[in-house]
Structure 1
Amino acid sequence: MRPPGTFPRLFGALLLVAGAGAGCFAGDGGGSRQGSGGPAPGAVPALGRVVPAPASVKPGGTLYTLGAKAAIRVDDSPEVRRIGEYLAGILRPSTGYALPVTPGPGTDGVQLRLRPSERALGEEGYRLESSAGTLAVTAREPAGLFHGVQTLRQLLPAAVERRTLQTGPWTVPGGTITDTPRYAYRGAMLDVARHFFTVDQVKRYIDQLAVYKINTFHLHLTDDQGWRIAVDSWPALVTVGGSTSVGGGPGGHYTKAQYREIVDHAASRYMEVVPEIDLPGHTAAVLASYAELNCDGEARPLYTGVDVGFSSLCVDKPVTYDFVDDVIREIAAITPGRYLHIGGDEADSTSPEDYAAFMAKAQAAVARHGKTVVGWHQIAGSEMAEGSVAQYWGTDGTEPGEREEVAAAVKKGARLILSPADRAYLDMKYDSGTQLGLKWAGLVGVDRSYDWDPSEYLADAGVPADAVLGVEAPLWSETLTTSAQLEWMAFPRLLGVAEKGWSGARSWEEYRVRLAEQGPRLEARGVVYHRSPKVDWPE
């Protein structure tokens, strides 16, 4: 996830910013704002000026006006009705309208329709049609309807996102949007191991991700500084290993019921959870919890620093593989999604031979319990299991040999998730004045997080475009302790990565215009964000 030995000791700075909450953070010349009015209540962006950009936009005809007597008409199915209630929950507080969710046909109001015959829309595509009398969202699958609702809310004036009564009119430009995603995997990761975040904080972040059509939520549950998920067969993992965090602050963990709550909430936003159990390195919390998992049989002290690469499970002990199988079995049993992430990075204390042997057994355990392996791209240094996925976190300056190793794995059938640290890591500083975050991968301004093409990123190493499964924006938490801090580092950079996953290559100059219009929407939703001077935000 990052090179070893590159972190300064940040605890003093961390204390300065830990309580900053929703206030402004230094960096890139900007701060954060909440509560400004944004554009005039009647202002409406042109059809298609949303994030991510739609695949096809055909403006024309008369705009649609949501009136006080409008209904949300849905197909008579529980899932479509639930999407309708979700939309009504967004619109009712600001408009003051009743907006009943009504099964059955009709020509007025907002219509949400599933049409299995619409094969071209695939699993996540939708068509939005706006005219004087009706606004219709059509999809082949419920996920497509949900994504269409996210576009609809961005086409209404920004004030529609507020939780208090606002003044209309509530209009949408006329025309048709037909939209399908570029990549099947569009992810975001949250590190809850370095600092713990509660179920409600995680659910808040999931809700923010859903607006921008993210469909995968990678939860980094374990690391040197903390183990955050209960495992019945190894209870000390949370009672000991989960008791602290970076800097020695309080830890925390999720019970299995709480983890299921997160998984269920993500599913309600059409998002698949990918749990990560980082192995065989990044395991200091494990080695402090159970003496027998150390080669010398002596428990290690809890670790609260930020160095990497020093810890490793004892690869030669049979008990190590009992532990691995138990953990993977229990986590797989409460994870309905396809993937289970086993880390695999920065195992500097494990020899290459031991690493390869360990990874073979860990991957076999994942397959045995019905999941597909995901690992950080160092996993390509071992024999990757059939169908497995490598997550690339290198930078433009990553050693060619490492990139070629990834390319070799692709030739054998591996797929790739791209998370280049100097483009997609949301914990990198915006500029040299940013108080939060790190800079080992360089400074990542809002423009740099957008100005890259996933299909070409590893082309020079021989990776074909069709090997890319998708993109992911990780957010590591060494310096982050509050939701406000998470948001300020994620937004607006997350939007750029989301667009790379959904729409593909666009110009920065075109994108920055659409990004500026997101400012009032973020404010209306109460999201703390970085007002980069590289974007002409509305006053």
Structure 2
Amino acid sequence: MNTLKIKFTTALFLLFIAVSNAQMNIIPRPMEISTGEGSFVLTSKTKIVYGKDSENSAVLLASILEKGFHKKPKLKEKGNGIQLIINPELEKELGKEGYQLKTTTKNIQIESATSTGLFYGIQSFRQLLPTNFETTKFLNKTVAIPVVAIKDKPRFPWRAFMLDESRHFKGSDPVKKLLDQMALIKMNVFHWHLTDDQGWRIEIKKYPNLTKIGSYRKDTQLSRKSPERVGKPHAGFYTQEQIKEIIKYAEERHITIIPEIEMPGHATAAIASYPWLGILGTTTEVTQEFGKLDDSFNLADPKVNEFLKDVLTEVFDLFPSNIVHIGGDEVKFETWEKSKDIQDKIKKEGLVSPADLQIFFTNQISKFIEENDHRMMGWNEILGDNVHEWDKENNMEVKEKLSKTAIIHFWKGSLDLVNKAVTNGHEVVNSLHSMTYLDYNYKSLPLSKAYSFDPIPEGLDAKYTNKILGSGCQMWSEWIPTVKQMEQQIYPRIAAYAEVGWTQKANKNYKNFTQALIQLEERWRQSGINYHEGLD
């Protein structure tokens, strides 16, 4: 074999390797992908071709290419280059979030039924670019994009990440950074846990003490069940204007923000702000301790119910999403058993137990939420099932039936409870704590375990699988005070959950995923993200 032929064969082999790597290096893994020979040479002169419905997508793509080539590409309505096409006919096959990405040696075409699908096609295209392309370190004048054809759509419509800022406030910039990374890996729901016992983080104008008092605590428990303290106060909240800014930022990345306003438990920050809200009459400041606390909203007082509706009304006005999460978890029913007000309320309404009262209350809140063109979501305790060992001595009898419009956020208990929820007509987001809680260490929840999670429980009747909306991974922050620690817990496991939510089950492959993760981790490093190194 002559030297020229050897060089040509070697070049073809190296090209095959590059194309194969491109196939593996998109996270989450696409539904269908095929490769061809050759590549498209991308330069600063490559045009972006758009139609009337795809102009915003063209502007987005231009901003990405400008970062690498330091020159804004031209946007045209006709010609070759990178073509962005809205084709409503694709919805039948790929839904509203799916897309097709095709590259030849002459052009690149990204096509979808909607602008959301185009956005996700652009995210896949970004992952075909060098990892440092969007940084100042990229100095090349060309990029070879392999010839490839991708047809892609998500497995689930709900692909969520939750950030708890009640326990430790992080602020706008870290939240925006998280939204950027969520968008890259096609996660579409940011569940924002804004109120709890240890802090109230959202401005409510009718009740200014919620942030004047409720957003501040004098100190913080140092470790579990310890009397030791950190030794300094903790505070912070979002003004309504800041929240609007973050919502807009998320919308530009096709991410819906779902706020969580806890009720009737996890309420001591609110009660400290307005002590008449509580049952015990002893809550006067925001707690420094973590765990399950005794006080909760006094549901027997009509003023308390009016307060909650006032708060929700301002939340409705702020958040354009039509879902509000009310929490509903870990209510200490022992307090309710001992409260004369609560016991009188139970008798007055013809109920049989504190658990029954919670369902009664939750249905009232659900009705109010629906009257305001929203929908209620809550942790699976709102169904009335006993999922806590510390509740076993309490009366958990229920006769009330939860409104079927409520979305159940499953996190604890037997998987039979998921089956019970869907057969009773509820839609479910599956966030089983042992599989999705990002505050757990890597020994108890390694990357491989996170990747293995299936939101559809084994044995669920196929006729109910459409009731499983998807999954969420949760970043609880009790013991995660800094952004650096938070990033260690989130990355790389968030990438596994992105693939859990998007990639078809038959296409999941942990070995391929970890190979693709090498490139994504390099992107995180370039972005200054402090990810956990190693698979476990």
Query: What is the TM-score when the length of structure 1 is the normalising length?
Result: 0.83
Match of 1:417, SS state, is strand
Give, in whole Å, the separation in 1 of the partners of 2:205 and 2:298: 21
Task: Note the alpha carbon deviations across 1:445-490, whole angstroms, 9 max, x for none.
Answer: 1111101222235x36999422210111111111223333222211
Residue 299 of structure 1: how far off its partner (Å): 4.4
In structure 2, the gaps of 5 or more residues are 1-16, 222-231, 337-353, 385-399
Report the equivalent of 1:503.
503
The separation in 1 between residues aligned to 2:58 and 2:233, in whole angstroms, is: 42
1:214 aligns with 2:187: yes
Q: Distance in 2 between matches of 1:281 and 1:463?
A: 35
Q: CA deviation at 1:196?
A: 0.8
Structure 2 counterpart of 1:58, from 34, 45, 55: 34
Count of aligned positions: 471
Partner of 2:515, secondary structure, is: helix
- State the AA in 2 paired with 1:113: I
Structure of greater relative contact order (alpha carbons < 8 Å, 6+ residues apart): 1
Q: 1:176 aligns with which of 130, 138, 149?
A: 149
* Corresponding residue SS for 2:261: strand
- The 5-angstrom pairing of residues 90-169 of structure 1 reads 90-100=64-74, 102-107=75-80, 109-119=81-91, 120-167=93-140, 169=142
The 3-state SS of whatever aligns with 2:34 is strand
Determine whether 1:424 maps to 2:442: no
Q: CA deviation at 1:43?
A: 6.1
**Is 1:376 matched up with 2:379?**
yes
Alignment-mate amino acid for residue 64 of structure 1: F
* Superimposed CA distance per residue, residues 49-87 of structure 1 (whole angstroms, 9 cap, x where no aligned partner): 31001011121142112023112222234xx33322222
Residue 297 of structure 1 and its aligned partner are, at CA, apart by: 4.9
Letter matched to residue 131 of structure 1: T
Unaligned 5+ runs, structure 1: 1-41, 432-442, 535-539
Deviation at 1:236, TM superposition (A): 0.8
Aligned residues of 2:428 and 2:470 also touching (Cα < 8 A) = yes
User: Equivalent residue for 1:291?
Assistant: 275
Question: Which position in structure 2 is the counterpart of 1:456?
Answer: 457
CA contact (8 A) 2:408 2:427 kept: yes
Match of 1:385 in 2: 403
Superposed, 1:129-278 pairs within 5 Å as: 129-167=102-140, 169-244=142-217, 246-247=220-221, 249-278=233-262
Residue 515 of structure 1 is aligned with which of 514, 517, 522? 517
8 A Cα contact 1:455 1:464, kept in partner: no
TM-fit CA distance, 1:495: 0.7
Alignment of 1:520-535 (within 5 A): 520-533=522-535
Is the 8 Å Cα contact of residues 132 and 523 (structure 2) preserved in structure 1?
A: yes
CA distance in 2, matches of 1:341, 1:174: 44
Conserved? CA contact 2:446–2:535, under 8 Å: no
Pairing 1:339-354 to 2, within 5 Å after superposition: 339-349=323-333, 350=336, 351-354=354-357
Moved more, 296-305 or 368-377: 296-305
Contact 2:491 2:531 in 1 (8 A): yes
Choose from 420, 425, 434 the match for 1:413. Answer: 425
Deviations 1:220-244 (CA, angstroms, capped at 9, x unpaired) = 0100000111112211111111123
Q: Render the CA deviation track for 1:273-323: whole Å, top value 9, x for unaligned.
A: 100001111001011011211235554332021112423111211111101
Q: Indicate the larger mover: 362-371 or 504-513.
A: 504-513
The yes-or-no answer on 1:306 pairing with 2:308 is: no
Q: Which of 293, 300, 305 pairs up with 1:321?
A: 305
Distance change (3 Å), C-alpha of 1:533 and 1:405: closer
Query: Is the CA contact (8 Å cut-off) linking 2:196 and 2:266 kept in structure 1?
Result: yes
Structure with the higher helix share, 1 or 2: 2
Decide whether aligned partners of structure 1 residues 73 and 483 sit closer, same or farther in structure 2, where only a CA change above 3 A counts.
farther
Q: How does 1:4-15 map to 2 (within 5 A)?
A: none
Any idea what SS the aligned residue of 2:151 has? strand
Please tell me whether Structure 1 or Structure 2 has the larger radius of gyration of its CA atoms.
2
Letter matched to residue 116 of structure 1: P
**Aligned partner of 2:41: which letter?**
T
Q: Distance in 2 between matches of 1:520 and 1:477?
A: 26
Deviation, structure 1 residue 199: 1.6
Q: Distance in 2 between matches of 1:374 and 1:527?
A: 32
C-alpha distance in 2, partners of 1:493/1:463?
30
Deviations 1:369-428 (A, max 9, x none): 21111101111216322322111112xxx4x3xx43443232121011011212211111
Distance in 2, Cα, partners of 1:254 & 1:63: 47
Cα drift, residue 168 of structure 1: 5.5
Q: Does the aligned pair in 1 maintain the 2:39–2:146 contact within 8 Å?
A: yes
CA distance in 2, matches of 1:260, 1:59: 43
Q: 1:516 to 1:165 in 2, by over 3 A?
A: closer
Q: Distance in 1 between matches of 2:287 and 2:463?
A: 38
Query: How far apart, in 2, do the equivalents of 1:530 and 1:168 lie?
Result: 33
Q: TM-score, normalised by structure 2?
A: 0.83
**8 A Cα contact 2:329 2:380, kept in partner:** yes
Question: Are the counterparts in 1 of residues 86 and 115 from structure 2 also a CA contact under 8 Å?
Answer: yes
1:488 is matched with 488
Question: C-alpha offsets along residues 219-269 of structure 1, whole Å, 9 cap, x if unaligned?
Answer: 001000001111122111111111237446321111111111111111000
Counterpart CA distance in 1 for 2:78 and 2:24 is 27
